[in-house]
Structure 1
Amino acid sequence: MLVYSHIANIAEKYQNNVVVLGTFDGVHIGHQKIIKRATELAKKIKGKSIVFTFSNHPLEIIAPQRAPKKISDNTEKEHDLKALGIDILMNIPFTEKLANISPADFLKLLKDNLAPKYIVVGPNCTFGYKGEGTPQFLDDMAAAYGFIAEIPQAAYMHNKIISSSRVRHALTDGKLELANELLGHPFTISGKIEHGENRGHQLGIPTANVYVSEKYLMPPDGVYIVTVTLNNEKYEGIANVGDNPTFNIHSRRVEVNIFDFNKDIYGEHIQIHFLKKLRDEEKFSSIDTLLTQMNIDIKNAKDYFIR
């Protein structure tokens, strides 16, 4: 998959293009539906499937006070879109200039740079100044700009539309299994492994520490069964989300114990895939009590993977 962080003119090199528009935060099942439609069309016309999206949420520019926390970072978005078979990803910063472009000028920008034969959007997609560009506008203007508009129906689960907002609410409410169902994959946090207080090594249960920016969602504090991806290898483990109250630490992070693993991985990039919550985070009366509970957590997680 080719990845661009700017609006690149690929019209001369690639002619039969299917462009799919969206923010794609979390790349949930609803997103996957329209992306799969785009890849099907691209194969049909022997062309390229192109995702045109933004590296930041548009509300961060339009109304920062209303900008939601992001479900996934750009690394995760890129990973998910590549797995869905997208040929080209144009993941550009949303700017004031883009916020003020008219819907018609936005379509001209796409025509001049991406030469779309099809443009695929979800039924709730908006674009251009104040979101005045709608799926109906896209359909009305398609012939004038030389493309065909494809607007798949919304995806539903449990009689409700699947949306990034719904995923956010599920995660915030501690409904991890529902969030994962809506996403169609485990909720994932990724980041660089950093040094902590080294208490895990001292306790005989080493952990990898990942600090997450406040711009991104985290599940509620607690202990979770996880898998991790590290250097293209997958491992099983448990993760604690929180600030480790037993030691009076006030720095929220994710601490992962990777089962049967003992390598120096500081500075490496890790993906943490959340499968199931085991319990809430607790403040223990002693280190011995904490260790006893940690060993119970590890046993319960290992039993989960055996099942």
Structure 2
Amino acid sequence: MKIKNLSFQSLLSSKPLIACWGFFDGIHQGHQTLFNKLITIAKTNNYETCIISFNEKPQSVTDEIANQVLLSKEDKIKRINDFGINYYLEIEFTKELSRTSPQQFIAWLISYGVKSVIVNRNVRFGYQGQGTIKTLHKSSLQVYLCDDVFVGNHDKVSSTLVKQLLQNKDIINANLCLAPNEYYITGKVVHGIKEGHTIGFPTANLELNTNYALPGVATYITVTQVDDKWYQSMTVIMMRNNVPLVETYLLNFNQNLYDKVITVKFLTWLRDNLRFSSLDDLKVQLRQDLEDTVDYFKNNS
């Protein structure tokens, strides 16, 4: 896959391009359906595929909302590459760009050699979302439609839905939206207050490498990757001084983790966090958590 930042040189494609655009946070089932249809149409029409994304969520520029994401940029590009996409084009999203008219955007696509696009029937693009499916049909572009994907109680799969499910601690349904992948985070292990060491439950304190949209404050059953090997684990997300803190306890593990970059994959909610009157009470609860975690993996081998 050829990766390019926004510039106005030709992509040098020898074939016409079929493109789709979006931030594609999480590469959920809706995105996967879109990419697969993109590839199918390209093969049928002898096109090359092009995915157009942005360096950050458009809403974070126009609404100044914190740019919390489900995937790091590096992981997103890797996952897109796994689909066999020919070109990944990234645009720096600015307030100036947000004022681009639908007609200007279409002209920009055509200048890059895009002949066809694939969109949702409710697509909105250009300044204030003025561009619609009708706008595209009035252009010289060939337009293909991709249907929404629904899960659970007829909820449309979207990055917003996944984030809501995570915030509600509904890891199982969030992972259904992300299938065949699960929600995960990556970070470097750094020194914490080391309270776990004093009670026999040493945890890895993560310094996250991305501004992740984290699950709600609670304790979860997870698996953790260290040096390409996966370990059963349980992970707590808490708030300390209004900053989210992620700590992971790896089962049957006694190596030094400091400064290692590890990945934590969330499987299910274990319990809400509790307040304890003493470290002894905390130790009793952690022993129960460990027993419940071991039982989970026995029943979900």
TM-score by length of 2: 0.86
Q: Secondary structure at the match of 2:138?
A: helix
**Partner residue, 2:138:** 140
Query: Structure 1 CA distance, aligned partners of 2:195 and 2:165?
Result: 32
Query: Structure 1 CA distance, aligned partners of 2:8 and 2:190?
Result: 35
Structure 1 residues 16 and 208: alpha-carbon distance in aligned structure 2, compared to 1, 3 A threshold: farther
After superposition, the C-alpha distances for 1:172-223 in whole angstroms (9 at most, x for unaligned) are 2232222222232322222333221233334333322224599542111111
Correspondence for 1:172 among 140, 145, 167:
167
Please list, as runs of the form range in 1=range in 2, the aligned pairs for 1:217-236 lying within 5 A after superposition. 217-236=213-232
Correspondence for 1:197 among 193, 196, 207:
193
After superposition, the C-alpha distances for 1:20-39 in whole angstroms (9 at most, x for unaligned) are 21221222211211111112
Query: Structure 2 CA distance, aligned partners of 1:250 and 1:268?
Result: 25
Percentage of matched positions with identical amino acids: 27
**Partner residue, 1:82:** 81
After superposition, the C-alpha distances for 1:246-292 in whole angstroms (9 at most, x for unaligned) are xxx76421111222333333333333221101101112222222222
Structure 1 residues 7 and 206: alpha-carbon distance in aligned structure 2, compared to 1, 3 A threshold: farther
Correspondence for 2:148 among 146, 150, 154:
154
Letter in 1 for 2:84: G
**Partner residue, 2:32:** 32
Kept after mapping to 2: 8 A contact 1:5/1:91: yes
Name structure 1 gaps, 5 residues minimum.
Answer: none
Query: Structure 1 CA distance, aligned partners of 2:156 and 2:174?
Result: 13
Query: Structure 2 CA distance, aligned partners of 1:93 and 1:243?
Result: 32
After superposition, the C-alpha distances for 1:141-164 in whole angstroms (9 at most, x for unaligned) are 1xx2xx421111222223232222
Query: Structure 2 CA distance, aligned partners of 1:120 and 1:164?
Result: 19
- 1:232 Cα offset (Å): 3.8
Moved more, 100-109 or 182-191: 182-191
Query: Structure 2 CA distance, aligned partners of 1:213 and 1:198?
Result: 21
Letter in 2 for 1:40: T
Please state if 1:255 is matched with 2:251. no
Please state if 1:56 is matched with 2:50. no
- 1:239 Cα offset (Å): 0.4
Kept after mapping to 2: 8 A contact 1:16/1:45: no
Query: Structure 1 CA distance, aligned partners of 2:47 and 2:291?
Result: 50
**Partner residue, 2:93:** 94
**Partner residue, 2:292:** 300
Kept after mapping to 1: 8 A contact 2:218/2:237: yes
Q: Secondary structure at the match of 1:227?
A: strand
**Partner residue, 1:209:** 205
Q: CA RMSD in A?
A: 2.7
Kept after mapping to 2: 8 A contact 1:14/1:47: no
Letter in 1 for 2:135: F
Q: Secondary structure at the match of 2:84?
A: coil
Q: Secondary structure at the match of 2:69?
A: coil
Please list, as runs of the form range in 1=range in 2, the aligned pairs for 1:251-290 lying within 5 A after superposition. 251-290=243-282
Kept after mapping to 2: 8 A contact 1:53/1:90: yes
Structure 1 residues 7 and 205: alpha-carbon distance in aligned structure 2, compared to 1, 3 A threshold: farther
Name structure 2 gaps, 5 residues minimum.
Answer: none
Kept after mapping to 2: 8 A contact 1:122/1:151: yes
Q: Secondary structure at the match of 2:80?
A: helix
**Partner residue, 2:235:** 239
Structure 1 residues 192 and 214: alpha-carbon distance in aligned structure 2, compared to 1, 3 A threshold: closer
Structure 1 residues 280 and 38: alpha-carbon distance in aligned structure 2, compared to 1, 3 A threshold: same
Aligned residues: 297
